[in-house]
Amino acid sequence: MKNKYIYFSGFFILLAISNHLLYNLWLLFDIITKLYVKVSKKLSYKKILLINKSLVIGGIETVLLTQYQKFKSEGHLVDILLFNKNEDYNLEDKSDIFYFDEFKSIKSFFKQQEKHTKYDVIICHAQSKTICSKVKSINNMNTVFVLHGIHSDRLLNKNIISKFFKKKKIQFLYNNTNIVTVSNTVKKDIESIGVVAKKIKTIYNPFDIEKIKKLAKSNKDEILKRPYIIWVGRISEIKNLPLLIDIYKFLSHKYDLVIVGDGPDNIKHKIKEKTNAIDIKNKVHFLGFQENPYTYIKDAAAMIITSKNEGLSMVAIESLILNTPVFSVNIPVLEEVLSKYYPSGLLLSKKPQEMAKYIIDNINTPINTKKIINELSSEISNRLYMDFFDK
């Protein structure tokens, strides 16, 4: 009986010791796992440099700042290098922004900045040949040049000799570099010039969808009484606003026209003269530059785009995010975007009256906003940039 008692006592003591040991091992495993996750995350953080000429308001600058804010929120260390102090954006924290003379050697900047930590990723949004040449001279294998526009346009209206040398300059600048194009249209264009990249990939621009939706709920500065069609952008020759007015003439019985954006006075004057000539000036509202165009886009019956060319139309995608239909002339990049996200928006006719009729007939076609949100968020875009170098 005594032996049995000793046996059972020993068994329970061993069991208690075993359970205590297992519990401690489990605690140790949990600590090691959490530490591993923390260290892995820290190791996955990158030091990133974003480069552009300035922060004057425009599509490229919006893309750069969206990237900057998202990368920062993900824990990355992010700097911005600019070559011009002109700024239209009010950033609360400017400690990450560095300015450098466009005409000085850029190597001294990198020598100073990389004393402690080198940049893991350099993303150059600048389209200036001077700036891109300087960035290329750094010879950093993790540098990517983002192409936002059509380069073959620079070869138009050139004689054979001028065209040859212009093409060679573009090839010399981008050959054997890492390139991200903002659309497949831009990718095909740069390849058609004969540029042979080390690596090339299309990554659509990032869109801060929640921010766009939040801004769209703000109050308008201008109260508009009638339903309206909207155009948003920088007023320039390439945007082809005379065609917009020609189309709108056949929509003016149902809608007003809101033009959001600024540009050279001579071009604006021509557009205003055209509205006067066809007696629609009281229905066309020139709102100039608006810091928050989304509140106007959200309530518009439709967005119309008449550009002769685009790299990637940011306003087209932003409009669709806000459930505002987009109708565009048939240019390659809009065909690419609308065929994916709003096939009814492509204007195949070249006659303004037929375009206007098509818009009226299709203005209530529903938009698949879920598809856009799933594919074009800033999180997805940033991940694709990181994957570009990891693979």
Q: What is the DSSP string of 26-63?
A: HHHHHHHHHHHHHHHHHHH--EEEEEES-B-SSHHHHH
pLDDT band with cut points at 50, 70 and 90 for residue 41: very low
**Could you give the domains of the chain?**
46-207+376-390 (3.40.50.2000), 209-375 (3.40.50.2000)
* Strands laid side by side in the 143-147 sheet: 97-99, 77-82, 47-52, 121-124, 143-147, 178-181, 199-202
Two structure tokens written together for 265? 């006075």
Q: What is the Cα–Cα distance from 103 to 97, expressed in whole angstroms?
A: 18
DSSP letter assigned to residue 213: H
Two structure tokens written together for 69? 């804010």
Q: What is the Cα–Cα distance from 174 to 156, expressed in whole angstroms?
A: 19
What's the confidence (pLDDT) of residue 28? 62
DSSP letter assigned to residue 103: T
Scan for tokens 């990637």, then name that residue.
Answer: 312
Is the entire prediction scored with pTM above 0.85? no
Q: For the chain, give the longest Cα–Cα distance.
A: 117
pLDDT band with cut points at 50, 70 and 90 for residue 114: confident
Query: Which amino acid is present at 372?
Result: I
> Is the Cβ–Cβ distance between 312 and 184 less than 8 Å?
no
- Rounded mean pLDDT, 31-39: 50
The enclosing H or E element of 187 equals helix 184-192
Residue 153, pLDDT above cutoff 80: no
CA angle 230, 236, 238 (to 5 degrees): 95
| pLDDT tens string 90-107 | 666 778 888 887 777 788
Q: What is the Cα–Cα distance from 138 to 100, expressed in whole angstroms?
A: 15
Q: What is the CA radius of gyration of the chain?
A: 28
| pLDDT tens string 166-225 | 889 999 999 999 999 999 999 999 999 999 999 999 999 999 999 999 999 988 877 788
Scan for tokens 């604006």, then name that residue.
Answer: 268
Residue 16, pLDDT above cutoff 60: no
- Rounded mean pLDDT, 40-69: 81
Following CA atoms 205, 121, 141, 100 in sequence, which dihedral angle do they give, to the nearest 10 degrees?
Answer: 90
What's the confidence (pLDDT) of residue 9? 54
CA 292 to each of CA 93, 214, 221, 246, 297: distance values in angstroms, whole numbers, following the listed order: 21, 11, 10, 27, 10
> Is the Cβ–Cβ distance between 322 and 213 less than 8 Å?
yes
Query: Which amino acid is present at 226?
Result: R
| pLDDT tens string 266-283 | 999 999 999 988 888 889
In this structure, is the dihedral angle defined by the CA atoms of residues 338, 230, 182 and 195, taken in order, positive or negative? positive
Which are the contacts of 284, defined by CB distance < 8 A and separation ≥ 6?
A: 245, 248, 256, 257, 259, 275
What's the confidence (pLDDT) of residue 21? 59
Residue 297, pLDDT above cutoff 90: yes
